[in-house]
Chain A
């Protein structure tokens, strides 16, 4: 239960600064690269609007400033109407990250609530919640997003955040539910229950702290999804086009045919920014994965030492206890709909035979 994943056990006199440094050093390279890259963009988002040299919306009426290539006055050149691309970028990173983080927080909170309560309430509730998340997973989200946003009388940041959060939780809920079911069966939970801890206390202080890495991974994934979806939606015009986000910059660049006019400095930087933020998040997530499962690392595999390195088997996630709890016939019937239930049982049985 004391497991903060990055802390290495050391004699107490070495605790403090060295321990933290050691933790950073022991992070997989991919996680480090991802964190550094992401830190750069977060910093740009935080201080960007303050250091932006121009007002991003200011159109310079002078025709000589239209579509200027990068120069000392305009480090990333100008748009067709003489706006400064660098300023737009600095303001746009803030708005895009803001949206992504808000969606990430809201959707991850939803998935924790749904996942944990599905696992804890059990029975019919579990099956209803699981069925709901499976249905949301299988319905393609972008067409639904387009449909929802298309019906709104006007576009804006808030509706986009709401709609993205509403559709972004099922995957995380599924993973968190499985993990909660597994943790629930551990001895320390039984012990906590025996000592008379209340259910909400067990959830808040025993279960959720043990799922921090999973929740973090789910958050990173949701942020990635929010960036991708919001940029794509803005690019096809379903956003508040008078505000500056990475997606709307790309929208205006494309509608002015920036690439065909040879104005790469208008189109490439925002796209590259989205790509690099995305790469940073993917790297970070892969790093988190490798931290939990060292076998996935590309280098330093056990084979090189002649002995095969085998970490402890992953936590068994599929629980017979949950099956036993499905008392009502309706509950059983509902649960049996899910593809995972059948496969889990099949695989669980295979694993059980091997033991």
Chain B
């Protein structure tokens, strides 16, 4: 358990760094961020104004330390201020509307890509030098293509020209979001192409990593011993080799989440998908600073939380982490 406690400590430090960076960036970068907002909205309500003050340091409300404490207080109460873009909507409301879309689509697609890639990696590592190994350079091309480029080409071919898939958006026009079959069906249908693009761009990375670890693992003596005992291949592959090769893969999963999020932001922009990435782009182009900051925080916290979940899985999957900690 102390492994988990330490990891939680690390994530708290990381969260604090993100919070602090978020606090200082608008104050450190010279620019007219504050004037821009003030010029746009001269008659802000007092409460909204107060939150803005804390978030951006508008005017000079108290010392820097005081501002910092107020800012932390606001963040912990999910008070991200009012939104400039969709005035007078609260930033936290906007976040609540967009986050489920992103998590549902990106989460599912990432897990699918991870599973397929790992499976293919196991196969490629086991049948080392087989046909899967030979198509790997081709897959690398898909990994190197800028994500948005591939997505746009696929939209053009599969949606605009042939009409197999819908063109962007989260659901068909005219539907009201709710728990009814028409809406859910439409949402699933609209998510197929974005999910597909995420999967094909990220599968190669998982596959390459898993293959390399598999090849190293298969060379280990205990795998040779398992084969020599006459165990069926399936058991050797999955119980002996793959299970151990999976551990670095899982660790990589935690670290790769940052890239996954980056891909997701671009994906939503390309597909006009109503998630948090599109919201971020709109916020940036409208110079909506409170929203930008809140989105950055939410994304960072989500990644930290996902990393914590990976750690939990690691504790379950790797007895060494547990036993080592129990004894020391």
Contact = CB atoms under 8 A, between A and B. Distances in A.
B193 interface: no
Contacts of A134: 10, 14
Contacts of B257: 140
Given A282-B143, A286-B140, A142 B293 contact: no
Given A134-B10, A275-B149, A342-B321, A148 B25 contact: yes
B26 interface: yes
Contact of A337 (B10, B152, B307, B324): B10
A96 to B, nearest CB: 11
B296 A151 contact: no
B295 interface: yes
A39 interface: no
A232 B147 contact: yes
Interface string A331-355: 0000011110011011101100010
Given A146-B284, A289-B212, 19 more contacts: A135-B17, A137-B255, A140-B258, A140-B299, A143-B295, A144-B300, A150-B289, A232-B146, A232-B148, A236-B269, A236-B284, A238-B284, A250-B148, A274-B144, A278-B146, A283-B140, A337-B10, A339-B251, A342-B6
Given A232-B146, A275-B149, A279-B140, A141 B17 contact: no
A227 B10 CA distance: 30
Given A140-B261, A278-B145, A237 B296 contact: no
A295 B216 CA distance: 8
Interface residues of B, number: 80
A10 interface: no
A96 B81 CA distance: 38
5 contacts: A30-B137, A143-B296, A271-B149, A274-B145, A342-B324
Contacts of A347: 320
> Does more than half of chain B's interface fall in helix, strand or loop, or is it mixed?
helix
Contacts of A305: none
Contacts of A231: 146
A298 B304 CA distance: 36
A318 to B, nearest CB: 13
B128 A303 contact: yes
A147 interface: yes
Interface of A: 30, 33, 131, 134-135, 137-144, 146-148, 150-153, 224, 228-229, 231-232, 235-238, 250, 254, 259-260, 267-268, 271, 274-279, 281-283, 286, 289, 293, 295-296, 298-299, 301, 303-304, 308, 310, 336-339, 342-343, 345-347, 349-350, 354
B49 interface: no
Identify the 5 closest CB pairs spanning chains A and B, nearest first.
Answer: A278-B144, A142-B262, A271-B149, A140-B258, A346-B320
A299 B17 contact: no
B71 to A, nearest CB: 15
B10 to A, nearest CB: 4
Nearest to B3: A342
Contacts of A141: 258, 262
B230 interface: no
Nearest to A279: B144
Interface stretch (B29-37, B107-115, B235-243): B29-37
A352 B147 CA distance: 43
B137 A336 contact: no
Contacts of A308: 219, 224
A138 B129 contact: no
Contacts of B18: 139
Nearest to A145: B262
B292 A283 contact: no
A137 B216 CA distance: 26
A283 B144 CA distance: 10
